[in-house]
């Protein structure tokens, strides 16, 4: 969740995203991933890369959680989720969460595809689709990973990272994610 509480973490991630060696560090970290997963990881924005590397670094003692840290936000597709939509989402989440819920419910009611990818493509291009992606990026990443036959537990962790944690691994991923 984006709240003021993790502002220091977000400032840190923003600074790390400016590091000229970020892509080199990302390539090194992606050595643990399959070729398809590595491609998905490398397609992320610099900010998401910096955030995901920092999340994964906190989970490095568990190889599965490490991969989940790297890939959990891979559903924030750069082509669909622009900077303005991110700010719109964060701004509403902080200042007007009830309005955000109403807008989200409106977008959800129009998203009638089978599965999250079809619903995403069926949502009008622009800020509406961007918000849909923001709301469902965990499931979107999970669907993409499932298509490339990633391990089931990884798909599960990534797909559930926006929901309430139900076991120790989900909790650790959420805590690292929320802090950064
Ligand atoms: Fe996320
Ligand atoms: Fe995240």
Residue 83: the pLDDT is 85
- The domains of the chain are located at 4-179
Tell me the CA–centroid distance for residue 93 and ligand 1, in Å: 14
Residue 4: the pLDDT is 65
Residue 21: the pLDDT is 96
Element (H, E) at 128: helix 127-147
Residue 161: the pLDDT is 97
Tell me the CA–centroid distance for residue 71 and ligand 1, in Å: 9
Chain centroid offset of residue 65 CA: 14
Residue 29: the pLDDT is 95
Structure letter (DSSP) for residue 123: S
Tell me the CA–centroid distance for residue 110 and ligand 1, in Å: 23
Tell me the CA–centroid distance for residue 119 and ligand 2, in Å: 22
* Measured CA distances, 2 to 10, 113, 120 (Å): 9, 27, 22
The per-residue pLDDT string of the chain (180 residues; one tens digit each, 9 = 90 and over) reads 556 678 888 888 989 999 999 999 999 999 989 999 999 999 999 999 999 999 999 999 999 999 999 999 999 998 898 888 988 898 898 899 999 999 999 999 988 888 899 999 999 989 999 999 999 999 999 999 999 999 999 999 999 999 999 999 999 999 999 999
CB 13 within 8 A of CB 179: no
C-alpha torsion 135→137→139→144, nearest 10? 150
* Measured CA distances, 74 to 26, 101, 110 (Å): 13, 23, 24
- The pairs formed by 34-43 with CB atoms below 8 angstroms and a separation of 24 or more are 34/148, 34/150, 36/148, 36/150, 37/67, 37/71, 37/145, 37/148, 37/150, 40/71, 40/74, 40/141, 40/144, 40/145, 40/148, 41/70, 41/71, 41/74, 43/74, 43/77, 43/78
Tell me the CA–centroid distance for residue 121 and ligand 1, in Å: 20
């Amino acid at each position: 969740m984006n709240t003021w509480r993790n502002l220091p973490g977000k400032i840190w991630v923003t600074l790390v995203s400016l590091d000229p060696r970020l892509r080199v560090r990302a390539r090194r970290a992606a050595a643990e991933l399959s070729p398809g997963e590595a491609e998905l990881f490398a397609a992320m924005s610099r900010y998401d890369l910096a955030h995901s590397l920092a999340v994964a670094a906190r989970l490095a003692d568990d190889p599965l959680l490490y991969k989940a840290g790297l890939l959990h936000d891979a559903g924030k597709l750069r082509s669909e989720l622009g900077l303005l939509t991110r700010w719109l989402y964060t701004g509403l989440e902080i200042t007007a969460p009830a309005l955000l819920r109403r807008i989200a419910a409106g977008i959800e009611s129009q998203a009638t595809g089978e599965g999250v990818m079809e619903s995403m493509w069926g949502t009008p291009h622009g800020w509406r689709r961007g918000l849909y992606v923001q709301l469902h990026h965990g499931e979107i990443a999970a669907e993409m990973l499932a298509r490339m036959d990633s391990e089931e537990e990884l798909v599960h962790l990534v797909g559930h990272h926006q929901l309430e944690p139900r076991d120790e691994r989900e909790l650790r991923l959420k805590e690292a994610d929320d802090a950064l």
